Amino acid sequence: MILDATFCSQSGDFRNEILWCYRKWSVKQGQFVRNHDVIVFYSKSDQNIFNSLFIPVSEGTMKRWKGKKQQAVFKGGVRSATSIESEESKTPMPDWWDISIINPAAKERLGYPTQKPEALLERIIQASSNEGDIILDAYCGCGTTVSVAQKLNRQWIGIDITYQSISLILKRLEDSFGKDALTQVKLNGIPKDLESAKALATRQDDMPPARCRDRTRKEFEKWAVLSYTNNRATINQKKGSDKGIDGIYYFRSEKNETEKAVIQVKSGKVKSGDIRDLQGTMVLEGAEIGIFITLEEPTKDMRQTAKAAGIYQNKYMSHSCDKIAIVTIQEILEDKWQINRLGIPLGYEVLKSAEKQMETAVKQMELTVL
């Protein structure tokens, strides 16, 4: 009803209800197995783009066709049997689509709970747009629409409510299309200076005060952790007490075992006791390195306390680093501090790499955090 009111009242129209069918064997008592989702297809006007898609016919159907007459008479003359067989090997695509969900072991899977298969978005984008057209995904999540639009040489706009989603998409684009693709992306809603970083940390949303403060602080923490680690850290998703951990960065030890750096972010007043607390957290978590990210300038006592924690070194590092590093938001914004500056060896990236697909000619892309 909402879509009818939105589109049909503005010269648009409802075109199809499409059933996306897949095999899924999760069974709930008292109901049938759910093996499909519904996609609704609307157009903005009668002038909408629609590229007809076709699917191969079955082998049995082809055999029946071969048994029919070997020529057909049309207005322009007679076509050969070979021509008829070639054209009839495909049939127009119906409104039910048999596309598998993403296999848990597939390279494509990123661990995002609502991730859709790229094959599904390829079909939608190919049918409804041409190269160079603009694709909008207002809830872009892990960026399947964005990635497919990039591959198909479409311009695109992606919008999401969390920086973590935008970070995941940036990492996905880098893995799939190379670092040069990121130079073409225009980011909105992301802190670009100290004032906008402070605004993110203290932003007031339209919700009860306590919940509002928790949400805005968490988004600030995610942005700080992922910006500092170049989108290569895990985010602590626990609600409420996070036990002093906002992010974790995994790296390789001298024995080729997994070691970790714990990351803590503070947006308020800071003191030397915060560094001692981080040191205690490192002990509890078995972390070799602690990183303290602060919006405010650290005190002299804080820096001295951090230095007293000692030095970390292993054979894969080009140089040693402090066991506890204090990093300011201003330094992150000025690109003076990135985790690779510590000389930490190769990280075990938690955002699964997608196979690099193609170089792209798309010139303008946009990601927005609301």
Dump the DSSP string for 209-275: HHHHHHHHHHHHHHHHHHHHTTS-SEE---SS--TT-SEEEEEE-TTS-EEEEEEEEE-S---HHHH
| pLDDT tens-digit series, residues 154-186 | 999 999 988 888 888 988 998 899 988 888 899
Tokens encoding 235: 């985010």
> Is residue 356 over pLDDT 50?
no
Relative to beta strand 289-294, strand 258-266 is: parallel
195 or 362, which is more confident?
Answer: 195
Tokens encoding 208: 């009860």
The pLDDT, as a whole number, for residue 94 is 95
Give percent above pLDDT 70 in the chain. 79
> Is residue 362 over pLDDT 60?
no
107 or 349, which is more confident?
Answer: 107
Burial environment of residue 262 by CB neighbours within 10 A (0 to 12, 13 to 18, 19 or more):
buried
The pLDDT, as a whole number, for residue 73 is 41
Residue type (1 letter), 55: I
The pLDDT, as a whole number, for residue 245 is 92
- Band of pLDDT at residue 66, cut at 50, 70 and 90: low
Cα distance between residue 295 and residue 328, in whole Å:
6
The pLDDT, as a whole number, for residue 241 is 54
DSSP at 347: B
CB–CB of 289/325 below 8 Å?
yes
How many CA atoms are closer than 13 Å to the CA of 258, on its beta-carbon side?
A: 7
Q: Residue 184: what are its φ and ψ, rounded to 5°?
A: -95, -5
The pLDDT of 83-89, averaged and rounded, is 55
Listing from the earlier edge strand, what are the strands of the sheet with 13-21?
36-43, 13-21, 96-98
Between vectors from CA 264 to CA 261 and to CA 266, what angle results, nearest 5°?
A: 160
Residue type (1 letter), 21: C
> Is residue 350 over pLDDT 70?
no
- As a whole number, the mean pLDDT across the chain is 83
> Is residue 130 over pLDDT 70?
yes
Tokens encoding 207: 């919700």
| pLDDT tens-digit series, residues 255-281 | 888 889 999 999 999 999 999 999 999
| pLDDT tens-digit series, residues 202-242 | 865 555 555 555 677 888 999 999 889 888 888 887 655 55
Which residue reads 């080009």 in tokens? 318
The pLDDT of 338-364, averaged and rounded, is 53
All domains of the chain in start order, with CATH: 1-48 (no CATH), 114-219+352-370 (3.40.50), 232-342 (3.40.1340)
> Is residue 368 over pLDDT 80?
no
The pLDDT of 105-132, averaged and rounded, is 91
Nearest to 273 by CA among 299, 248, 247: 299
Tokens encoding 55: 């699917």
85 or 39, which is more confident?
Answer: 39
Q: Residue 104: what are its φ and ψ, rounded to 5°?
A: -55, -25
CB–CB of 124/150 below 8 Å?
no
> Is residue 102 over pLDDT 50?
yes
The pLDDT of 7-34, averaged and rounded, is 89
The pLDDT, as a whole number, for residue 192 is 87
> Is residue 355 over pLDDT 50?
no
The pLDDT, as a whole number, for residue 82 is 47
Residue type (1 letter), 108: E
> Is residue 139 over pLDDT 80?
yes
Residue burial 7-38, b: 16+ Cβ < 10 Å; e: rest: beeeebeeeeebebebeeeeeeeeeeeeeeee
Which residue reads 């495909």 in tokens? 90
The pLDDT, as a whole number, for residue 140 is 92
Average the pLDDT over each of 42-51, 144-153, 163-172, 265-274 and give the range with the smallest value.
163-172
| All residues at 6 or more sequence positions from 2 whose CB lies less than 8 Å from its CB, including other chains | none
Task: Give me the helix-helix angle, 272-285 and 300-307, nearest 10°.
Answer: 30
Which residue reads 């016919």 in tokens? 57
The pLDDT, as a whole number, for residue 240 is 52
340 or 140, which is more confident?
Answer: 140
